Amino acid sequence: MSYQVLARKWRPQNFTEMVGQQHIIKALANAFKEQRLHHAYLFTGTRGVGKTTLARILVKCFNCETGITAEPCGTCSSCTEITEGRYIDLIEVDAASRTKVEDTRELLENVQYMPSRGRFKIYLIDEVHMLSGHSFNALLKTLEEPPEHVKFVFATTDPQKLPVTILSRCLQFNLKRLSLDLIESHLALLIKNENISSDAESLKLLARAADGSMRDALSLLDQAIAYGAGSLELEGISNMLGLLPADRMAILVRSAHEGNAEQLMQAIEDMATLTPDFEAAADGLISFLHQIAVYQATPSIYTDNEHISVLAKVLSPEDIQLYYQIALHGRRDLALAVDCRSGFEMMLLRIMTFRPAGTDDIPLASVESKKKLTEVVTDTVSDKGHLIEEIQNDYSPRVAENESIHSHETLKPLEPLLNERRIETPPVEPEPVAEIIKTVEVVKEVIVPEKVEPPEAKKIVVNAEPVVNRTKATESIEKIEPKKVEPIQPSQDKKKENTGNIWHEVVDKLKLEGMNLQLARHCTIGHQDDENITLLLDKVASQLYSQTAETLMQIALQQYYHSSVKLTIKVAENTAETPDQRTHRQQEERQTGAEQAIYNDPFVVELQKKLAAQVIPNSIKLQ
């Protein structure tokens, strides 16, 4: 007898032999137990997860000679013929090769006839999403109300392409990807039955390469058995899949972490002799870093892998997280590199160059970085905090340790910098970064400011004599008292007229904000003497008044005038102009003046006459 591939030899023949998909098996088993049977079933999911296998088991459950059951016998003539693919009442169709509406009509012409042998005539349509739109339309009526002796079973990897009219007529079951543990345990059972020697690591690699598909896993197992001449070995599986073994991954990670560029590039060169698939190598590196991170969190998971356990103790969790992120971005950018090898090398060089910020053992970057540090000192000597931030940023990259890097002979001294500032000071010997920061503090203290300009609003006049120390200048400024603002009192002969024009000057000097300020801006002075002030609130803005707002405004007036002032606010029809109305009037006047200036401009007038130009309305805005 000819050899039968493992995917066909070990295809499940009943629900109990199925691996995974328990959520679907339970639903179908209960449906058969309760005899709640639908006329159309739809199985969806990625390749190799058991769609067609479940469909054929379903056919056995319907037509087993022992009855309609969730546990077909597998020995009767119907079950045997279904297993062998020659059951006459099972019409299995590949929709990818029969997409035309004529094929669908021809298929449905025999729906009305009773089955030849079985209990039901079952139409199994695989990759049903490949049917054309007209084919679906031809199928709709029959699918919704088929004869009692007809069942439909559909399978597809792309249910989004099915019309909703088809989906609504079917019981839909979504098959999930199989987990690594399920695939690995099933492969271990199969090689035991096949008398194949193997180890756990080999099966893990095959399960990971299957990517959730049991059929892919069985096909890879067939290939691995042939590659290993009847046995499975880790090195052989790695070579077959184009993966790097764990020991070589460990060499790459450790060399990059220690900054050993020569050893790192030699390891990549040796890797190139084993496999040219650097994309697969990048995937393997990402998986290897993931395993180290998982081991650091839960050491009991990977205790059997010596390389992972050793690196997990050498590398910190912060290093692993950073390396993993760099590897992910490097894997994404492989397609943008000149070739995959150069992209893979740059990914590892980045891992070697960078490490988490704040690590104590970060060596100095390079001579060029030291020169850049001196430039930063020159440019930012007046801002110590900014200087420290720049130094930390410049020294965040991690590079290989080198004696010439640690020496201070190439560091540019600060003497030229001090000469530029015209400050006589002895030459400063090159010092480490911490000492440079201290030197900057001293330099900052002795800088002679060219001129100190106090804020104009405070009208502060500083002595013209040169200030030696910037700190002293600041203290001098703080000691100067601002000129006391004299309150504006309305004269006796103007209390009854134009009082609003005086109130707007007072409002601008009160310490009010928000709604309280708006309330004050909508008032005018109705009466004022040494002890009492009466404000008239515009009736239009009466909603702004509240007892709390009046109290706060009285406190502001007491701070402006004196503590004995009492305030009264009355709502009235104002004849005087409020500060708010005054502001709007001035804005309108400025806007009108600006528009007239544009319209009367000789150049604009000339353009209007000769070119029929027009000024766009409402386009003139004040800055």
Most confident option among 361-365, 483-487, 587-591, 614-618: 587-591
Express as a percent the part of the chain with pLDDT over 70: 75
Most confident option among 124-128, 459-463, 507-511: 124-128
CB 98 within 8 A of CB 108: no
What is the C-alpha to C-alpha distance for residues 210 and 221, in angstroms, rounded to an integer? 10
Spell out the CATH class of 497-582: alpha beta
Q: Which residue has the higher pLDDT, 413 or 26?
A: 26
Find the mean pLDDT for residues 328-337.
91
Which of the four pLDDT bands, split at 50, 70 and 90, describes residue 574?
low
Among the residue ranges 8-17, 301-310, 477-486, the one predicted with the least confidence is 477-486
Residue 345, pLDDT score:
92
Which of the four pLDDT bands, split at 50, 70 and 90, describes residue 611?
confident
Among the residue ranges 461-475, 500-514, 537-551, the one predicted with the least confidence is 461-475
Which of the four pLDDT bands, split at 50, 70 and 90, describes residue 302?
low
State phi, psi for 400 to the nearest 5 degrees.
Answer: -65, 145
What is the C-alpha to C-alpha distance for residues 355 and 364, in angstroms, rounded to an integer? 13
Which of the four pLDDT bands, split at 50, 70 and 90, describes residue 454?
very low
Residue 379, pLDDT score:
46
Count Cα atoms within 13 angstroms, Cβ side, for 479: 8
Q: Evaluate if residue 136 carries a pLDDT over 80.
A: yes
User: C-alpha 464: how far from its chain's center?
Assistant: 57
Residue 303, pLDDT score:
56
Among the residue ranges 65-79, 136-150, 346-360, the one predicted with the least confidence is 346-360
CB 246 within 8 A of CB 281: no
Q: Evaluate if residue 377 carries a pLDDT over 80.
A: no
Residue 544, pLDDT score:
87
* b (16+ CB within 10 A) / e for 111-126: eeeeeeebbbbbbbbb
Is the domain 6-174 a CATH 2.40.30.170 member? no
Residue 264 zone, left/alpha/beta (φ > 0; ψ -120 to 50; rest)? alpha
Residue 613, pLDDT score:
87
Find the mean pLDDT for residues 113-140.
90
Measure the CA dihedral 364/366/371/373, to 10°. -30
Number of helices (H), then strands (E), belonging to the chain: the values are 28, 8
Q: Structural domain boundaries of the chain?
A: 6-174, 180-241, 246-353, 367-446, 497-582
What is the C-alpha to C-alpha distance for residues 539 and 569, in angstroms, rounded to an integer? 12
Q: Evaluate if residue 481 carries a pLDDT over 50.
A: no
Average pLDDT of the chain to the nearest whole number: 77
Residue 197, pLDDT score:
87
Spell out the CATH class of 246-353: mainly alpha
Asked whether this chain's domains 6-174 and 180-241 adopt the same fold, the reply is no
State phi, psi for 562 to the nearest 5 degrees.
Answer: -155, 170
The 3-state DSSP composition of the chain as helix, strand, coil percent (nearest 5) reads 55, 10, 40
Residues 6+ apart with CB under 8 A from 321: 293, 356
Which of the four pLDDT bands, split at 50, 70 and 90, describes residue 378?
very low
180-241 CATH pick, 3.40.50.2000, 1.10.8.60, 3.40.50.800, 3.40.50.970: 1.10.8.60
Find the mean pLDDT for residues 573-600.
87
How crowded is residue 515: how many other Cβ atoms within 10 Å of its Cβ?
Answer: 13
Q: Evaluate if residue 486 carries a pLDDT over 50.
A: no
Residues 6+ apart with CB under 8 A from 249: 284, 285, 288, 307
Residue 97, pLDDT score:
84
For residue 549, what are its two tokens? Answer: 């707002």
166-220 pLDDT, tens digit per residue, is 999 999 999 999 998 899 999 999 998 888 888 878 888 898 888 889 999 999 9
Residue 491, pLDDT score:
38
Find the mean pLDDT for residues 268-283.
82
Residue 508, pLDDT score:
84
Residues 6+ apart with CB under 8 A from 123: 91, 93, 107, 150, 151, 152, 153
Residue 361, pLDDT score:
47
Q: Which residue has the higher pLDDT, 3 or 54?
A: 54
Strand ranges of the sheet holding 171-174, from the earlier edge strand across to the other edge: 90-94, 121-126, 150-156, 40-44, 171-174
